[in-house]
Amino acid sequence: MRIQLALRNRMFFFFSVVFPIGMFFLYAGIFAKGNPRVVSFFLGPVIALNVMGSFWGLSAMLVTFREQGILRRFHVTPVTAADMLASSILANYLLTLPTVFIELLFARLIFRVQNLGDLFSLLILVTVGTVSFASLGLVVASVTNTMQETQVLNQLIWLPLIFLSGATLPIAYLPKVAQSVAVFLPATYLVTGLQGAMYSSFPVWKLLTQILSLFFWAVLTFFVAAQLFRWEPESKIPRNAKLWALATALPFFFLGVWENKNGQILTQAQAAYRSLDQPAKSDQPPKSDQPSMGTPHPQKAAPISTNPQ
Amino acid sequence: MPEPILQVDNLFKRYGDVQAVRGVSFSVEEGEVFGLLGPNGAGKTSTVEILEGLRSPDSGYVRVCGLDPQVSSRELKHDIGAALQSTALPEKLKVMEALRLFAGFYKRRRDPEELLKRFGLEEKRNTHYGKLSGGQKQRLALAMALLSDPRVLFFDEPTAGLDPQVRREIYDIIEELRREKKTILMTTHYIEEAERLCDRVAIVDHGQVIALGSPRELKQRSGGKTRIEVKLAKPAANGTLQTLEGVADAREVGGAYVLHTQRPPQAIVSLVKHLEAEGNELVSLEIATPSLEDVFIEMTGRRLRD
């Protein structure tokens, strides 16, 4: 049942593929100047943008369907809110994966990035990231009534997320103050996680902070989205709904405080950024010596040279 | 006697300041076609939505197939089918896809192919929903309501906004369902629809049931009087029409006068004589055999049509 719904939802997502790929070329071309190593650095953020983009598509779709009365028709059936949410997230995920794959392909083929990092970590992060940001979009859709309101709220959330998290400018670039704020945002963990996976080839266990926090956040947000789900157009938003929605920010609130005190995320990000300037050497990231556990793809030991083969 | 399949007792529902449903009570037996007839805003749709489990009542006893739609919503939904007042589906969804999609939600289901044929939508199986005509969309909505092989069907204003030709097609479909002894609860503001299709009708106005019975019973109750509707050049003095011989009841309804009589010829003669005497003139005159609208007018002093 869910899959059927997902397959049907897929039809309306086709336009969400063009934007991320466009951004990818923008990054790779302009920022990285085609340098494979730098491209690899930016692959993380680009994929993060892709994943976070789920946020837009789903909130828009949910609000539209509700206001048009489409959700009502589903309401008369045995389908539950969780079913509806899960199927849209699934559909979105099935669309995100090929896009990520294409981006990796372009990175390899066009920009000659040899080492695509720890693909297993990548997969995990993309999965967790998609679910969580998609759920966030659905939460937004449940506390707004019209497309306009939704878009406004989307913007309010989206802009800090992309500018402070390292998805646009590398974190290390940002002033200290901004960096301290950044660790309160879930997007930061996604970006650093992906960057760690792709650029520094961190295996899963090195990215536990990001993975677990995002996972936990995904579960929480999904739960909140299911609770707040509304089928009827123009229905009143329960007063405590907005509070519930804010509750999803809580985990990262705590995490942010902790990270500011003794976190490693920022230092890792800074180290990665600095390593960009260093001459190309072994591809092993500065900290890990052991081979990663449980990753299907062995890390390549050959250095990335700036000369394409 | 078996339990009625639908039971509503003393139902109340309010939206903000507006009391939409005020103490509605009725019951529906399995296998009958029951109509809720009333003008827009009478509370029909709210009542049906409460029965379907879409809205929660403020108070009152509601049972569908023995279950409370609020408590056993999910379980109940497997046994009901509904065509909502305005069905909306994603524009790009194809007809067959829609049928298959919704069929998949139910434990028990009818074959989408069979329904496609039965509702005359075979040629449109791959057409996008947005490209269907109003009549086709409505046929699809009815087909979708049958997907779950339901014990109760809810049709909310099934022919609203459709032209007469299409409306007749829908009537044929509903009559077929009636012959198959399906239980149907339908709402409508069209008198002929209620008269033609329903075994029993509850006339609803301002959130209350003002009359309940089979169409024939209701018309008899209103005395089986013929209705004469006249428009006059000048307004008639208050109460004078009522006193005419042969006239049982006379009311002014929205600029015209509605007279009820059991002796139409007599009433007309007295009317004409009276108008002559008053120097008034007849602008138009219409005679109609008794209908449910008359019952409505009699009880509320207003027309059923807006």
Q: What is the pLDDT of residue A219?
A: 87
Size of interface A-B (CB pairs under 8 A): 55
Question: Does B200 have pLDDT greater than 90?
Answer: yes
Q: What is the pLDDT of residue A292?
A: 34
- Token pair in block for residue A17: 């593929």
Residue B62 and residue B50: Cα distance in Å, rounded? Answer: 8
| pLDDT tens, residue order, chain A (309 aa) | 555 565 555 544 444 455 555 555 555 555 444 555 666 667 777 777 777 777 777 788 888 888 888 888 999 988 888 888 888 888 778 777 877 787 777 777 766 666 666 777 788 888 888 888 888 888 888 888 788 888 888 888 888 877 777 767 676 667 777 776 776 777 777 777 777 776 666 666 667 777 787 888 888 888 888 888 888 876 666 666 667 777 767 667 667 666 666 566 666 666 666 666 554 433 333 333 333 333 333 333 333 434 443
Residue A183 and residue A178: Cα distance in Å, rounded? Answer: 9
Closest CA of chain B from A245, distance in Å:
24
Most confidently predicted of A174-188, B86-100, B113-127:
B113-127
> Which residue in B18, B48, B100, B102 has the most chain A C-beta atoms within 10 A of its own C-beta, making it the best mutation to test that interface?
B102
- Residue A222 CA, chain-centre distance (Å), reads 15
Residues of A in contact with B102 (CB under 8 A): 77
Delimit the domains of chain B by residue range: 6-219, 225-289
Closest CA of chain B from A70, distance in Å:
5
Q: Is B201 on the interface with A (CB under 8 A)?
A: no
Q: Identify the residue whose tokens are 């970590």.
A: A121
Q: Is A69 on the interface with B (CB under 8 A)?
A: yes
Q: Which amino acid is at B19?
A: Q
- Token pair in block for residue A264: 């490693």
Nearest neighbour of A77 by CB, restricted to B86, B89, B102 = B102
Q: What is the pLDDT of residue B94?
A: 82
Residue B237 and residue B241: Cα distance in Å, rounded? Answer: 8
- Token pair in block for residue A134: 């998609």
Assembly ipTM: 0.80
A289 or B96, greater pLDDT: B96
Chain A residue with minimum CA distance to B78: A78
Question: Does B26 have pLDDT greater than 90?
Answer: yes
- Contact state of B90 with A231 under an 8 Å Cβ cutoff: no
Q: Is B89 on the interface with A (CB under 8 A)?
A: yes
Q: What is residue A232's three-state secondary structure?
A: coil
Question: Does B262 have pLDDT greater than 90?
Answer: no
- Contact state of B84 with A69 under an 8 Å Cβ cutoff: yes
- Output phi, psi for A94, to 5 deg: -65, -20
Side-chain half-sphere exposure of A66, counting CA atoms within 13 A: 26
B85 or B198, greater pLDDT: B198
- Contact state of A76 with B80 under an 8 Å Cβ cutoff: yes
Q: What is the pLDDT of residue A309?
A: 38
Give tens-digit pLDDT for B57-73. Answer: 999 999 999 899 988 88
Query: Architecture of B6-219 per CATH?
Result: 3-Layer(aba) Sandwich (3.40)
Closest CA of chain A from B74, distance in Å:
5
Chain A residue with minimum CA distance to B148: A77
> Which residue in B76, B105, B138, B144 has the most chain A C-beta atoms within 10 A of its own C-beta, making it the best mutation to test that interface?
B105
Residue A242 and residue A227: Cα distance in Å, rounded? Answer: 12
- Token pair in block for residue B185: 């609860």
Q: What is the pLDDT of residue A303?
A: 39
B157 or A151, greater pLDDT: B157
- Token pair in block for residue B296: 């409505």
Q: Is B52 on the interface with A (CB under 8 A)?
A: yes
A238 or B5, greater pLDDT: B5
Q: Chain B, 100-139: which have a CB under 8 Å from a chain A CB?
A: 100-102, 104-106
Please report, for chain A, how many H helices and E strands are present, in that order: 14, 0
The overall average pLDDT reported for chain B is 86
Window from A266-275, B208-217, B262-271, B291-300 with minimum mean pLDDT: A266-275
CATH topology of domain B225-289: Alpha-Beta Plaits (3.30.70)
- Contact state of B54 with A8 under an 8 Å Cβ cutoff: no
- Contact state of B105 with A68 under an 8 Å Cβ cutoff: no
- Token pair in block for residue A150: 């939704």
Q: Is B74 on the interface with A (CB under 8 A)?
A: yes
- Contact state of B106 with A8 under an 8 Å Cβ cutoff: no
Residues of B in contact with A232 (CB under 8 A): 54-55
Residues of B in contact with A68 (CB under 8 A): 88
Most confidently predicted of A88-102, A293-307, B31-45, B80-94:
B31-45
A59 or B28, greater pLDDT: B28
A126, A47 Cβ separation under 8 angstroms:
yes
DSSP state of A181: H
Nearest neighbour of A70 by CB, restricted to B82, B88, B148 = B88
- Token pair in block for residue A254: 């705590």
Q: What is the pLDDT of residue B61?
A: 92
